[in-house]
């Protein structure tokens, strides 16, 4: 049991590290648009996002339950080695894509990491393919929904405010964009931080520390705090890609993108579905840009991001599988 205690501690540390990395990796999701349009200064934007990420992370546990209950058929089929390998695979992919300034999905990386580690550690029979199918479907559909809704919202704003000059629109929407960025940051915390909560709670359940899947308060607090601290570290490399390289935005565009992203993420959180906030925000920016002028969207960057999205789950799964194999055989040797 002592051995399991140490493994549990390793899982908790890795989950907190994942949330911290998720925080600075995904900072761009909440502030890229408001920073790029100069609606708010970068330092103020990061601080605001950290606070709202923390508050959003503690309001709900529905997404955590989906992560903890719907990927594996039973907690008894896995152990802490499997979960540690899953987290290490996700962390590796997040750091790799961050280094390349690619807006990859922490959610995809975590799902892929869990699947890969479970397959190698417990076999295909341990996977809940029905639950995984729903999760993958939500990850695929959410950016498409965000793109379509972003296009619609931007068109509606143009119908209502199109008669104003660009300068007047920028002034009118600058403060409104700060408000939409606050909503975006809160929604980001409400969905993303819960994924690590679900992983830790799954570990506690598989080890017999709790009898039912209920996220302890201390798990909520450390995951929310880790994401907030990571957010304060900033993800400036990805902020540049998200804020400038997909579509050059004015404040009205940033307001539309943030409002649409927060609505999409709030809906997913309400339905207890994990989504990639990176994908949702990217889809929103593409939709908003298309409503202005389709050719103004840098579809080359969008194509590169799409390729990254497609390969994240299988590659993070492969990395996690290799890591599990190494961890397991190392422990057997010693």
In this predicted model, what pLDDT tens digit does every residue of 306-328 receive, in sequence order? 787 788 899 999 999 999 999 88
Looking only at Cα atoms, what is the longest distance across the chain? 73
What pLDDT is stored for residue 118 in this prediction?
Answer: 94
SS3 state at 247: coil
Q: Residue 72's beta-bridge partner residues?
A: 127
- Domain span at 258: 2-333
What pLDDT is stored for residue 33 in this prediction?
Answer: 72
What pLDDT is stored for residue 169 in this prediction?
Answer: 76
Q: Where are the alpha helices (DSSP H) in 207-298?
A: 217-233, 236-240, 251-270, 277-292
pTM confidence score: 0.85
Q: How many domains does the chain have?
A: 1
Dihedral of the CA atoms 131, 136, 137, 142 (nearest 10)?
130
pLDDT tens digits along 181-206: 888 889 888 888 888 999 999 989 88
Could you tell me how far CA 319 lies from the centroid of its own chain? 19
């Amino acid at each position: 049991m002592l051995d399991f205690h140490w493994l549990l501690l390793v899982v908790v540390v890795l989950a907190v590290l994942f949330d911290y990395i998720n925080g600075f990796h995904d900072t761009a999701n909440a502030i890229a648009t408001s920073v790029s349009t100069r609606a708010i200064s970068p330092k103020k934007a990061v601080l605001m996002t950290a606070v709202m990420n923390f508050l959003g992370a503690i309001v709900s546990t529905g997404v955590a339950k989906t992560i903890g209950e719907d990927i594996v058929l039973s907690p008894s089929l896995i152990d802490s080695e499997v979960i540690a390998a899953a987290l290490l695979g996700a962390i590796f992919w997040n750091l790799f894509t961050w280094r390349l300034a690619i807006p990859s999905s922490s959610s995809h990386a975590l799902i892929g990491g869990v699947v890969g580690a479970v397959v190698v550690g417990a076999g295909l029979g341990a996977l809940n393919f029905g639950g995984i199918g729903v999760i993958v479907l939500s990850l695929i559909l959410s950016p498409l929904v965000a793109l379509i809704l972003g296009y619609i919202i931007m068109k509606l704003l143009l119908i209502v405010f199109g008669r104003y000059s660009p300068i007047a629109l920028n002034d009118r929407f600058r403060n409104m964009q700060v408000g939409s960025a606050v909503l975006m940051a809160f929604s980001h915390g409400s969905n993303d931080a819960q994924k690590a909560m679900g992983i830790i709670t799954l570990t506690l359940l598989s080890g017999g520390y709790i009898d039912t899947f209920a996220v302890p308060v201390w798990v909520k607090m450390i995951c929310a705090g880790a994401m907030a601290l990571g957010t304060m570290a900033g993800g400036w490399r990805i902020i540049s890609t998200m804020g400038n390289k997909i579509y050059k935005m004015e404040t009205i565009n940033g307001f539309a993108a943030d409002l649409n992203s927060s609505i999409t993420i709030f809906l997913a959180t309400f339905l207890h579905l994990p989504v990639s906030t990176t994908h949702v925000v990217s889809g929103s920016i593409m939709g908003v840009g298309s409503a202005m002028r389709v050719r103004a969207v840098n579809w080359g960057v969008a194509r590169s991001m799409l390729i990254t999205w497609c390969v994240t789950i299988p590659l993070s799964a492969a990395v996690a599988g290799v890591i599990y194999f190494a961890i397991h055989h190392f422990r057997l040797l010693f």
